[in-house]
Amino acid sequence: MTTDQGLLTNDQFPKSLMFVSGLELWQWMNQAKVDAIASDIPQAELDWLLQELAGLDKLALRLESFKDLPKIELKLSLSELDQLWQRRLQERVPVQYLTGVAHWRNFSLKVTPAVLIPRPETELLIDLAVAAVKSYSVNRKSHWVDLGTGSGAIAIGLASELTNATVYAVDCSWEALVVARQNAENLGFGSRVNFYQGLWWEPLEFLKGKVSGMVSNPPYIPSSTVVTLQPEVLKHEPHLALDGGFDGLDCIRHLVETAPDYLESEGVFLVEMMAGQAEAVAEMLESQGSYAEVQIFSDLAGIDRFALAYRL
């Protein structure tokens, strides 16, 4: 019932459901809270775990009203639930990998350790892409690209908002593509998102000059910084999705150089980046010579996080 890393994934939860009384679960939760405080893990994460595995909603958890229920269905036994929580606390495994689910925009996405857990700030990339589209026409077919798709989050977000678009999602990791494809299919976008294995634009030769927009959340963390990240990220998330080389900008630099061959005139170039990189990325786009209207956008925390430009 576990993957190589010993993690349960959504498909692998035992089919037969377990039942506990509300009181039993409440007692377990109280101990789990004490353990969380001792391990410096936010209690909210316990709620996430119970929302996924015990089907409880936020209000029932907040008010502890589930305590009076005679019977609660769990996706696993109480002792397995406890083992998962201990793995969160001791091995610092992110809850999303323990449950196999991440919530992002209005989607519930499957995640495994083969993919980066999609971050809330990345949700804004979709809104920026939609707002950037010039001369939108429902009748005009458009081609959008998500390079380094990981869980498929961005590709699915684009497909859901840009209803006339066909989306092409690329990743070099086969394991990531398996997850991404499953997400697209589960969410009803299987026919709108096409998946390709390869490096950046490599598998998309046939789209040269035709791409309406490229969106990417590439690895952008400097190699020397990756090793200093919190253990949840450092020990459990794919470094392939994080490590952007010496200054963190290897991949963004590559995208700035290569995208002009693929984007149509007025095509959108949009990437996520790290705090402190905005000036360098804007300068790269300006000096490349094929882009106009270079803009930087901040995330909700006020950090310059996204760079946008149009193909001349």
Cβ-based nearer residue to ligand GLN, 248 or 267? 248
Distance between CA atoms of residues 54 and 125, nearest Å: 32
- Provide the minimum distance between the beta carbon of 213 and ligand GLN in the complex, in angstroms, as a whole number: 18
**CA 147, CA 144: separation in Å to the nearest integer?**
10
Whether the Cβ atoms of residue 70 and residue 22 lie closer than 8 Å to each other:
yes
Q: Which one of residues 41, 49, 162, 221 is an interface residue with ligand GLN (CB under 6 A)?
A: 221
Under rule CB under 6 A, residue 182 binds ligand GLN = no
Pick the binder of ligand GLN from 100, 113, 157, 219 (CB under 6 A).
219
Reduced 3-state DSSP string for the chain: CCCCCCCCCHHHCCCCCEEECHHHHHHHHHHHHHHHHHHCCCCHHHHHHHHHHCCCCHHHHHHCHHHHCCCEEECCCHHHHHHHHHHHHHCCCCHHHHHCEEEECCEEEECCCCCCCCCHHHHHHHHHHHHHCCCCCCCCCEEEEEECCCCCHHHHHHHHHCCCEEEEEEECCHHHHHHHHHHHHHCCCCCCEEEEECCCCHHHHHHCCCEEEEEECCCCECHHHHCCCCHHHHHHCCHHHCECCCCCCHHHHHHHHHHHHHEEEEEEEEEECCCCCHHHHHHHHHHHCCEEEEEEEECCCCCEEEEEEEEC
154 binds ligand GLN, rule: CB under 6 A: no
Would you say 184 or 242 has its CB closer to ligand GLN?
242
Nearer to ligand GLN, 18 or 303 (CB): 303
Q: Based on CB atoms, which residue is closest to ligand GLN, 22 or 113?
A: 113
- Give, in order, the Cα–Cα distances in Å from 61 to each of 49, 77, 124, 186, 197: 11, 19, 29, 28, 42
Number of chain positions touching ligand GLN (CB under 6 A):
9
For the bound state, the minimum distance from the C-beta of residue 264 to ligand GLN, rounded and expressed in Å, comes to 26
Write the binding mask 106 to 125 for ligand GLN: x where contact by CB under 6 A, - elsewhere: ----------x--x------
97 binds ligand GLN (CB under 6 A): no
> Rounded to the nearest whole angstrom, what is the least distance from the CB of residue 148 to ligand GLN in the complex?
8
58 binds ligand GLN (CB under 6 A): no
Q: x-or-dash pattern for ligand GLN, window 14-53, by CB under 6 A?
A: ----------------------------------------
Residue closer to ligand GLN by CB (options 164, 223) is: 223
Chosen residue from 104, 220, 262, 310 binding ligand GLN by CB under 6 A: 220
Taking a C-beta distance cutoff of 8 angstroms, is the pair 144, 163 a contact? no
Q: Which stretch binds ligand GLN (CB under 6 A): 97-105, 199-207, 215-223, 255-263?
A: 215-223
Q: For ligand GLN, which stretch binds (CB under 6 A), given 10-18, 127-135, 169-177, 213-221?
A: 213-221
- 252 contacts ligand GLN (rule: CB under 6 A): no
Q: Which is nearer to ligand GLN, 100 or 219 (CB)?
A: 219
Instruction: State yes or no: residue 242 binds ligand GLN (CB under 6 A).
Output: yes
Report the relative pairing of strands 107-110 and 142-147 from DSSP bridges.
Answer: unpaired
CB of 221 to ligand GLN, least distance (A): 5
Q: List residues binding ligand GLN (CB under 6 A).
A: 116, 119, 217-221, 233, 242
